[in-house]
Chains A and B, each alone.
Chain A
């Protein structure tokens, strides 16, 4: 038997936790509403039944007020799952049953999963699931999604419901005399015309017309314009009547009656309270302090700074170990393999490229762990609440905070889910402004670049500089948003209403899963995409190489040098002399001969790199990029960074490992940059500013195009790049003028 089941419920009710528990998946779960913005599928098998489980986005209602609600409703009516598990937060039953009412009205085969019964119990709330099941006429199963308690019984109830194979059975609620009369009139009209009857029950369509549901109104007009016009006429009269007599819209009356229905159910012995229901819980008491307008922002800054200190202090040693490990590996391969293209590709393309990215895994891991603590505890939602005040000034919305944080607001996120998280914004202009500015945040891919350049040029106060650059990302993103909202995206702000989840103690298992799932993505990307791009860029930096004539010039220089140092000797070979100089420096030979030969080698390799396809491109850009202090090698890395930002570190690693002078051992990139005459503190800051704000990576651009249009994706690339370059030029010119390098 093959079953298709869907998980529906309020945001933060535990849908994804249950989904992960049942399917063994590791979908991201957070103590923050709106984590799931599109549905996800998982598979499980129970008692010989293969089940496809779909995790729908959290919704408060089945009316199209936001994108998540549309996704959830469209899935239910189009895919028609055999069972819908409505996950209900037992500690907040009344509000959660509001959605249940609408699912009952839609007529879906329903099973209620009464989640977090343990939390409800700790708050003195006792729920009689059997009475609730009798009154609602659907199975109700108490569960604890976190621990898996009750999930077996839940699956059995679901399979039993599915086996009944009953047709959808819409439940009718009464909405008072006035509205019921209108609804009956609408139902008659809808029934006669068969308007959208393949998707929705007539009464449900009628209620959505009264609730002014945009999607239903548009669909109605498209499928039967005449009937739709008549329906809208009736609704308009009814709305006018409600406004005149009660000063409310029909949807307020509908909501009031639904809550009335819920209260009447709950008062029939379903819920009993051991404590005073009016009391405030610990979570509310903490909120009184942590969201205070004066104390709150101070605590927030302190927490974020602590996160950076923790990350940099604890990751310093493991990052150094990994760096040394890759340097040793490089030396090992250098000693084992004969010179040639394969060795060059392994050392310059694979080890310096991928190793440069993997070297930052400990830092990424510590940062993700810190973010997981903030998210799972529920504090991130409070950050959104406090930041809303600031965001308003810049024409953004409180709901923009989460996309910013997901994209790397606390450094270490990813712009792709950040762009997708903008779906929670209702206003198209605020959404577009958010969507275009979230790539300014310091995502996990930019983190290695930040760590590399800060480590190389500002190693004294790494955490402080990291914090400063994160703040800079926020400031620039907000100013860019203000610019966009005052010009191309001008429009009125929309209200901010968001539910704050209760504070919860994060579980160690949850923290490790979150940290690992994000770190694994980073490692996987380094081993696949970054590896491919690194090898490709190595090829672009290697071919076509020098012509025979050019090679002969360098060969001539070497021979000239050798002849000058040993005029009387028998015919000498360059390799033989180099080995002699390296192996036995105490000999009669000039001690610096080896070094001078290496300098010629370096000049040859630099000429080869410059002559390569990537080198030619980097050199062509140099006349412009010099204004910001970037040499042609940096240009190659920056262009490569468009594919993926991690590539910047790997390409710098490759570009600066080609033509290395050191005779002893491979040096870490940090030291190579410190030694390079083209790099100094001012160039480092200019480069950081450019990297932080120029065109988003390719995947993000595609995502922006998918979420808006290619026109906006192209705008994002050009606007960001020009703005970033102007800022980098400003930083470099001012810095050099005051001789700060």
Chain B
């Protein structure tokens, strides 16, 4: 049985952002350049395919909202997402585009 009921509630952020992404309208800046703590929305995740998949499994994927806990401009970053705190190295932070909320 397909668990489709949830789709009606519009929870799929990719579906929601599909048009935006097609129009190349992600105006976010790399997470590595974030210099202040606070809430951000992830608008794009690029880079190595397996790393993107692993981050998605840890709850970091386009459309998700997160808290930047310890920004270090150009360096690593601590991000609180879906209740967990994830540490990211400079390369990964560089590949995550975020917009401030």
* Chains A and B belong together in one complex: yes
List of B residues within 8 angstroms of A86 by Cβ: none
A287 CB contact (under 8 Å) in B45, B54, B64, B70:
B70
Segment with Cβ contacts to B, from A252-260, A354-362, A680-688: A252-260
List of B residues within 8 angstroms of A291 by Cβ: 69-70, 78
Tell me the chain A residues, 53-68 only, with Cβ under 8 Å from chain B: 60-61, 63, 65-66
Q: Mark B10-42, 1 if CB is under 8 A from A, else 0.
A: 011111001001100000000000000101000
CB-based contact B3/A497 at 8 Å:
no
CB-based contact B89/A92 at 8 Å:
no
List of A residues within 8 angstroms of B4 by Cβ: 174
In this complex, the interface size class of chain B, counting residues with CB under 8 Å from chain A, is 35 or more
A247 CB contact (under 8 Å) in B1, B44, B54, B59:
B44
Query: Smallest CB–CB gap between B32 and chain A, Å?
Result: 12
Nearest A residue (CB) for B89: A496
CB-based contact B76/A174 at 8 Å:
no
Q: How far is the CA of A600 from the CA of B87 in the complex (A)?
A: 67
Nearest B residue (CB) for A60: B57
Any chain B CB within 8 A of the CB of A280?
A: yes
Q: How far is the CA of A176 from the CA of B13 in the complex (A)?
A: 12
Q: How far is the CA of A247 from the CA of B5 in the complex (A)?
A: 26
CB contact under 8 A between A253 and B14, given known A172-B1, A173-B2, A284-B69:
yes
CB-based contact B3/A174 at 8 Å:
yes
CB-based contact A65/B50 at 8 Å:
yes
Q: Mark A262-302, 1 if CB is under 8 A from B, else 0.
A: 01110100000000001010011001100111000000000
Query: Smallest CB–CB gap between B67 and chain A, Å?
Result: 6
Q: How far is the CA of A260 from the CA of B62 in the complex (A)?
A: 12
List of B residues within 8 angstroms of A293 by Cβ: 72, 75
CB contact under 8 A between A284 and B86, given known A65-B53, A98-B59:
no
CB-based contact B76/A256 at 8 Å:
no
For the A-B complex, the count of residue pairs with Cβ-Cβ distances under 8 Å equals 184
CB contact under 8 A between A251 and B56, given known A500-B86, A500-B87:
yes
Q: How far is the CA of A736 from the CA of B2 in the complex (A)?
A: 79
List of A residues within 8 angstroms of B92 by Cβ: 495-497
List of A residues within 8 angstroms of B58 by Cβ: 60, 95, 497, 499
List of B residues within 8 angstroms of A494 by Cβ: 48, 51
Any chain B CB within 8 A of the CB of A694?
A: no
Total number of A residues with any Cβ neighbor in B under 8 Å: 62
B69 CB contact (under 8 Å) in A66, A173, A288, A398:
A288
List of A residues within 8 angstroms of B47 by Cβ: 495
Any chain B CB within 8 A of the CB of A375?
A: no
Query: Smallest CB–CB gap between A394 and chain B, Å?
Result: 14
Any chain B CB within 8 A of the CB of A671?
A: no
CB-based contact A267/B9 at 8 Å:
yes
B82 CB contact (under 8 Å) in A61, A94, A212, A253:
A94
CB-based contact B57/A61 at 8 Å:
yes
B6 CB contact (under 8 Å) in A65, A246, A254, A261:
A261
Nearest A residue (CB) for B17: A246
List of B residues within 8 angstroms of A424 by Cβ: none
List of B residues within 8 angstroms of A317 by Cβ: none
List of B residues within 8 angstroms of A61 by Cβ: 53-54, 57
B53 CB contact (under 8 Å) in A63, A176, A245, A385:
A63
Any chain B CB within 8 A of the CB of A672?
A: no
CB-based contact B14/A287 at 8 Å:
no
CB-based contact B53/A249 at 8 Å:
yes
Which of B3, B9, B52, B76 neighbours the largest number of chain A CB atoms within 10 Å of its CB? B3
Query: Smallest CB–CB gap between A68 and chain B, Å?
Result: 12
Query: Smallest CB–CB gap between A563 and chain B, Å?
Result: 81
Q: How far is the CA of A211 from the CA of B54 in the complex (A)?
A: 11
CB-based contact B57/A63 at 8 Å:
yes
CB-based contact B11/A263 at 8 Å:
yes
Q: How far is the CA of A173 from the CA of B89 in the complex (A)?
A: 33
Nearest A residue (CB) for B101: A278
Any chain B CB within 8 A of the CB of A388?
A: yes
CB contact under 8 A between A251 and B83, given known A264-B6, A280-B67, A389-B76:
no
List of B residues within 8 angstroms of A252 by Cβ: 14, 45, 52-53, 56, 61-62
List of B residues within 8 angstroms of A91 by Cβ: 83
List of A residues within 8 angstroms of B63 by Cβ: 256
CB-based contact A496/B87 at 8 Å:
yes
CB-based contact A497/B70 at 8 Å:
no
Which of B12, B45, B57 neighbours the largest number of chain A CB atoms within 10 Å of its CB? B57
Query: Smallest CB–CB gap between A134 and chain B, Å?
Result: 13
B62 CB contact (under 8 Å) in A63, A248, A283:
A248
Q: How far is the CA of A156 from the CA of B57 in the complex (A)?
A: 31
CB-based contact A288/B53 at 8 Å:
no
Q: How far is the CA of A362 from the CA of B4 in the complex (A)?
A: 61
List of B residues within 8 angstroms of A261 by Cβ: 3, 6, 11
CB-based contact A95/B83 at 8 Å:
yes
CB-based contact A257/B88 at 8 Å:
no
Query: Smallest CB–CB gap between B75 and chain A, Å?
Result: 7
List of A residues within 8 angstroms of B87 by Cβ: 385, 388, 398, 496-500
CB-based contact B52/A251 at 8 Å:
yes
Q: How far is the CA of A173 from the CA of B6 in the complex (A)?
A: 10
Any chain A CB within 8 A of the CB of B55?
A: yes
Q: How far is the CA of A211 from the CA of B44 in the complex (A)?
A: 18
Nearest A residue (CB) for B48: A495
CB contact under 8 A between A255 and B56, given known A174-B4, A264-B11, A495-B51:
yes
List of A residues within 8 angstroms of B80 by Cβ: 280, 284
Nearest B residue (CB) for A214: B50
Nearest B residue (CB) for A180: B2
List of A residues within 8 angstroms of B89 by Cβ: 388, 392, 398, 495-497
Tell me the chain A residues, 181-220 only, with Cβ under 8 Å from chain B: 211-212
CB-based contact B54/A497 at 8 Å:
yes
Any chain B CB within 8 A of the CB of A616?
A: no
B57 CB contact (under 8 Å) in A247, A255, A502:
A255
Q: How far is the CA of A497 from the CA of B47 in the complex (A)?
A: 13
Which of A176, A180, A248 neighbours the largest number of chain B CB atoms within 10 Å of its CB? A248
List of A residues within 8 angstroms of B53 by Cβ: 61, 63, 65, 211-212, 249, 251-252, 255
List of A residues within 8 angstroms of B22 by Cβ: 245-246
CB-based contact B61/A385 at 8 Å:
no
Which of B2, B6, B92 neighbours the largest number of chain A CB atoms within 10 Å of its CB? B6
List of A residues within 8 angstroms of B84 by Cβ: 92, 95, 499
Q: How far is the CA of A388 from the CA of B75 in the complex (A)?
A: 11
CB-based contact B83/A93 at 8 Å:
yes
Q: How far is the CA of A171 from the CA of B1 in the complex (A)?
A: 7
Query: Smallest CB–CB gap between A410 and chain B, Å?
Result: 20
List of B residues within 8 angstroms of A95 by Cβ: 58-59, 81-84
Q: How far is the CA of A308 from the CA of B59 in the complex (A)?
A: 39
CB-based contact A172/B78 at 8 Å:
no
Nearest A residue (CB) for B13: A256
6 extra A-B contacts, CB within 8 A, seeds A65-B57, A398-B87: A92-B83, A256-B13, A263-B11, A389-B75, A495-B91, A498-B86
Q: Can you give 13 contacting A-B residue pairs, CB < 8 Å?
A: A174-B4, A247-B21, A252-B62, A260-B12, A287-B69, A288-B37, A495-B92, A497-B51, A497-B54, A497-B58, A497-B88, A498-B87, A499-B86
**Footprint of A on B, CB under 8 Å?**
1-7, 9, 11-15, 18, 21-22, 37, 39, 44-45, 47-59, 61-64, 67, 69-70, 72, 75-76, 78, 80-89, 91-92
**Footprint of B on A, CB under 8 Å?**
60-61, 63, 65-66, 91-95, 98, 171-174, 176, 180, 211-212, 245-249, 251-257, 259-261, 263-265, 267, 278, 280, 283-284, 287-288, 291-293, 385, 388-389, 392, 398, 426, 493-500, 502
